[in-house]
Structure 1
Amino acid sequence: MTKLLFCLLPVLWLASPAHAADTDAAQRAAAERFLRLARAEGMTAPLYDQVGRLMHARFAQLGGSLQYEDVLRDYQQQARALLDQELAWETLREPLIELYLPLFTTEEFEQLSAFYESEVGRRLMDNLQMLSSESMALVNQRWEQRLAPRMQDLLEQMADEIEQRQAPVGGLPVTPAQESPEQP
């Protein structure tokens, strides 16, 4: 009986709410550590730049000049305050952790963190924004130069085929049954 109890104690501990809370806390801490190493805190920086460019462009469209630059600065500050309120790390941390928790165990978060702490992981993070930007530029260039014209051709061919099928035959539109008679 003592042996059975001794064998069941670890199983009971693993199933206990106390162990689950410890595991949950450890997993959450590991997830947050990983997110910090992955520089999740800085992932919103491009949005700040984009909003800044948008504000400048709109200011120029409205005929803004140096005499109204104080208006631009005021609205830029308001925009930054809104971004800070909604995109601050303190605001995004918990939702991001919740997003990652179902995907990785504590051990997997630790493995990811070890990678991001390694020399190659740091090099990846140092170059990731440039790599992402240049990758998107490559894809966009390929789309514009090669794919968009082909897709336009396909769309036109599809429109032509649909028009042909809808064209009246003897005054009546062609139905799918008329196009391909059933074989006995």
Structure 2
Amino acid sequence: MENTEISVVMFDLGNVLVDLGDVEKMHEMLNTEGEESDVWLKWLRSPSVAAFDSGKITFDQFAMRLPQEVGSNVDKETFKKAFKAWPKGLFTGALELVQSVKPNYHRAILSNTNAAHWSRLMNEMGLAGNFHSYFASHLIGSVKPDRSIYDYVLDALQVAPEKILFIDDNQVNIDMAQTLGIQAHRVKGVEEAKNVLNSYNVLQE
């Protein structure tokens, strides 16, 4: 049976379709230790990250600000090189999953990303051309979980929020989406994503 409720299938990228590697990379960049979920919260709450991911500062400014913010003495060029290389690539089966969404659904990306990663994601990793809408935080000027980015998406798509199925790996992003009526689910990796999409019957056999 076709799902008459959903008309848009919207994907987050990092830790859903894109392999960000292990948490050690984040510990290096944020000068932290501890659970992955705690490190992500620190990342999401960082003023420097928010400014870069919303396109308000340049890569150079970010590479100077974030280490200062977290008390790291890494030099700018070393940081830039490590940060640019951070997303390892797509998870195995990620593109196949996206391409298996039934053709009558509108496919979208909603990602907190930045000028340093976007071209790698689109070109090097081959995500370009596989979606109908690309909502990238640095091009929109706001970041998840701010309400403004979701309002932007709803306005651009011109659909009721309950017609959007959204998968993301961060609970705070899911919480805000659900508050607005979007059908949002927390997943990590391709298998968990596939399970949710299958439960809504939006994938081809």
Give the TM-score taking structure 2 as reference length: 0.22
Of Structure 1 and Structure 2, the greater strand share is in 2
Of Structure 1 and Structure 2, the greater helix share is in 1
Give the TM-score taking structure 1 as reference length: 0.24
Q: Which has the larger radius of gyration?
A: 1
